[in-house]
Amino acid sequence: MILHQISPYIRVAMDNFVEGPWLIKERQLFDYELLYIMEGEVNVTIEGTAYEGVRGDIFLFRPKQRHRIQKIGKQRLRQPHLHFDFFYKEDSEKVKVSFRPIEEIEPEELSYFRPDIIDEMPVPLSSHLRLKNPVFIEKMLLDIIYEFETKMPYYEFKIKGLFIQLWIQLLRENYWSLNSHVETNMHALMHIKQYLMHNTNRKISLEEIARMSGISKHYMVRLFHKAFGMSPIQYHQLMRAHSARHMIQFTNDPLTVIAENMGFSSIHAFSRFFKTIEGKNPSYYRRKS
């Protein structure tokens, strides 16, 4: 997964205020930009599609993506924003923010364009996102800007970590906006997870989970898989194996006793289950160094 490889480089982090008229003519960036509307309103055009940006909106501009930004109204515009690469490269420190379309960019600068990896994300971020929890995102953005501007010792590492947290939160916001039915049922889904985690000493059926949750069996399975990437039974099996591994590693109970405590009919049934989930026999975790 591309997310495991990300090591971001923050090129610009700025909390920008605009009082009067303001316009950025059509341009194409070498890198990525996140633009957050904290106060005021803007008109944004991205590859010919027009958006109205108000407080709580965030825009993502990709490398080579044609876009235009214009302030509207008399209210002050406040727009915290970041220019960044997903990966540090040898020329990262040389690349500047572009204010020109590609036709006006010098030939020697064309190598500055970053590859666009957004579509390789598990949930690609939309160009325009209306945040449901803008205050949380605001704080994360302003924390990055503060670290970038004050440049305290090791700030480069601090803003990498902060950016990854910010990006994951944005991916989640985008995911919920695309799967609102999952978000609506998230309280019930979390209740199901807690139920499965606290009942690892026995086998559980889908019928039991459906009765407990009040959600029809087939719809519950679809919701759970959409939210967590696996079925309720698969999740329960993982939790049972995790609980068993903990007992094997941190108690002196015989494996036969652990198997009985976990609700298995025999040590052989327990061993088959454990190896299927963990890829190793239970005795592997009982070996002493």
Q: Report phi then psi at 172, rounded to 5.
A: -65, -45
Residues 6+ apart with CB under 8 A from 60: 32, 33, 34, 118, 125, 126, 127, 128, 129
pLDDT in tens, 52-66: 999 999 999 999 999
pTM of the model: 0.75
3-state secondary structure 31-50: CEEEEECCECEEEEEECCEE
Report residue 136 as tokens: 């949380």
Mean pLDDT calculated for residue range 20-39: 97
Mean pLDDT calculated for residue range 125-142: 91
Q: Whole-angstrom Cα distance, residue 216 to residue 209?
A: 9
Give the model's confidence band at 155: pLDDT under 50 very low, under 70 low, under 90 confident, else very high: very high
Q: In order of start, what are the domains of the chain with their CATH numbers? A: 2-178 (2.60.120.280), 183-286 (1.10.10.60)
Q: Which residue has the higher pLDDT, 46 or 226?
A: 46
Q: Please, are residues 32 and 114 in contact by the beta-carbon 8 Å criterion? A: yes
pLDDT in tens, 76-100: 999 999 999 999 999 999 999 999 9
Mean pLDDT calculated for residue range 135-140: 92
- Whether residue 289 has pLDDT greater than 50: no
% of the chain residues with pLDDT over 70: 98
Residues 6+ apart with CB under 8 A from 26: 45, 66, 67, 68, 101
Q: Please, are residues 115 and 30 in contact by the beta-carbon 8 Å criterion? A: no
Give the model's confidence band at 176: pLDDT under 50 very low, under 70 low, under 90 confident, else very high: confident
Report how far Cα 181 is from the mean position of its chain's Cα atoms. 19
Mean per-residue pLDDT of the chain: 93
